[in-house]
Structure 1
């Protein structure tokens, strides 16, 4: 068989294989990539490109290598969905950069983030004064989330009927059917208080996928069973 025909066959099969792998990994891989996912994409692409062009390489060895690199993140994703602690180790935690209009310099240093980089990210969100920011949080994917102070936000329907309360970031108190004790107690609440809220809603913590408490003390629940009413 001529070498150019073998290259065409190899390339076609690898393209189809990579398409299948992308579908298998899910849509998350198409959005913001984590550090490990970025390395995975480069490595798998390099293996596929080398395998398609170098006809002296054994196809089976290359396919095995690609499968190993593909299965590893799938296994990590499965464990991450089952364990919050494992997910924190692999993906890290969000870091607060600005709180109540004040820059938390120590958090910037821990994330190797310069002041210029922070100001640049704020300007991309049309924020030019740090004092206008209520919260700025660096997410685990490297994206900076910004919450402006209430007086600096665009006018909403609720602003026409102010109750005098300031906006606060909702606290996640339940995740994957488990109480987040550290968050609950650091916010001044207790497990018993959350349990009483659950009783009022006739809900069990094991049935809750996500639970958040807003600044007014209201508990929002998202159930595993999507048909269950709030």
Structure 2
């Protein structure tokens, strides 16, 4: 067998093997590596690269070595799930740097963190005064977590409006011009509804690259042909115009009515519709 062909077969086989091992280890190892997992990853990569390029090495020995190295993080992760003590030993605990607005100098020295490094890290989070911090900790993966004091935290929608309705993530119902039935069913819709929505916008399925439906049932589109303007759904605009017309019509009836009771009823109705119109404005005028 030619040497280049042997190297190609070795490399392809090792790539498939590493892919299977990565799937077994799970997504956590891809996002946040502990110190031990970092060492294992480097070692496995080194073994795999050497094994694929050096024909003098026996592939059985290399695969055995890779499997042994891969087995350790797989076993330790399973044990760590069941044992808090073992998890603390392997991953470590977070180290608190600031508690109740006070810097814990001993913990900074313990983690070999200078105050300059700490100030640099909080500046990266757009915090320029230590006095703004209520709590801060160095996590086991090396990230710095910071909680601002209540008066320094930005106001959220929930702070202003306590009774906030649940807003769910948008569901992708068309991708690459193909209908996705599962997310469509999750929002309680079907293909006929989707086709009707496209027909309102004078579109065909093959015109749409991506379509998502939000919590309010509004469909947002991205077209395959970027030179075309996105067609707007006129229903919401028409609804808003109708509400404005109702306000005007009832206001006119209140002015022209000869009966005092009718005048009061018309005026009250006009004011109530005005309130409803203003509440719906953010949804109908986007």
Structure 2 residue matching 1:140: 3-state secondary structure: coil
Does residue 41 (structure 1) correspond to residue 9 (structure 2)? The answer is: no
- In the aligned structure 2, how far is the partner of 1:23 from the partner of 1:2? 32
- In the aligned structure 1, how far is the partner of 2:114 from the partner of 2:33? 21
Partner of 1:21: 21
- In the aligned structure 2, how far is the partner of 1:157 from the partner of 1:12? 52
Partner of 2:88: 88
- In the aligned structure 1, how far is the partner of 2:60 from the partner of 2:49? 15
- In the aligned structure 2, how far is the partner of 1:51 from the partner of 1:161? 61
Q: Offset at 1:102?
A: 1.6
Q: Offset at 1:100?
A: 2.2
Partner of 1:32: 32
Partner of 2:183: none
Partner of 2:51: 51
Which has more helix, going by share of residues? 2
Partner of 2:225: none
Partner of 1:7: 7
Structure 2 residue matching 1:79: 3-state secondary structure: helix
- In the aligned structure 2, how far is the partner of 1:71 from the partner of 1:98? 38
Partner of 1:189: none
Q: Offset at 1:157?
A: 4.1
Partner of 1:175: none
Structure 2 residue matching 1:107: 3-state secondary structure: helix
Q: Offset at 1:158?
A: 4.9
Q: Offset at 1:161?
A: 8.4
Partner deviation per Cα, 1:169-228 (whole Å, 9 max, x = no partner): xxxxxxxxxxxxxxxxxxxxxxxxxxxxxxxxxxxxxxxxxxxxxxxxxxxxxxxxxxxx
Q: Offset at 1:80?
A: 0.5
Q: Offset at 1:160?
A: 4.4
- In the aligned structure 2, how far is the partner of 1:161 from the partner of 1:137? 31
- In the aligned structure 2, how far is the partner of 1:94 from the partner of 1:137? 6
Q: Offset at 1:113?
A: 1.5
Structure 1 gap segments, 5+ residues each: 163-230
Q: Offset at 1:117?
A: 1.6
Q: Which moved more, 1:73-82 or 1:108-117?
A: 108-117
- In the aligned structure 2, how far is the partner of 1:46 from the partner of 1:115? 37
Map 1:145-164 to 2 at 5 A.
Answer: 145-160=145-160
Structure 2 residue matching 1:147: 3-state secondary structure: strand
Does residue 138 (structure 1) correspond to residue 141 (structure 2)? The answer is: no
- In the aligned structure 2, how far is the partner of 1:111 from the partner of 1:124? 19
Partner of 1:75: 75
Partner of 1:61: 61
Partner of 1:107: 107
- In the aligned structure 2, how far is the partner of 1:25 from the partner of 1:50? 22
TM-score normalised by length of structure 1 = 0.68
Does residue 129 (structure 1) correspond to residue 129 (structure 2)? The answer is: yes
- In the aligned structure 1, how far is the partner of 2:31 from the partner of 2:71? 19
- In the aligned structure 2, how far is the partner of 1:157 from the partner of 1:57? 62
- In the aligned structure 2, how far is the partner of 1:134 from the partner of 1:108? 16
Q: Offset at 1:35?
A: 0.6
- In the aligned structure 2, how far is the partner of 1:152 from the partner of 1:141? 27
Structure 2 residue matching 1:136: 3-state secondary structure: strand
Structure 1 residue matching 2:136: 3-state secondary structure: strand
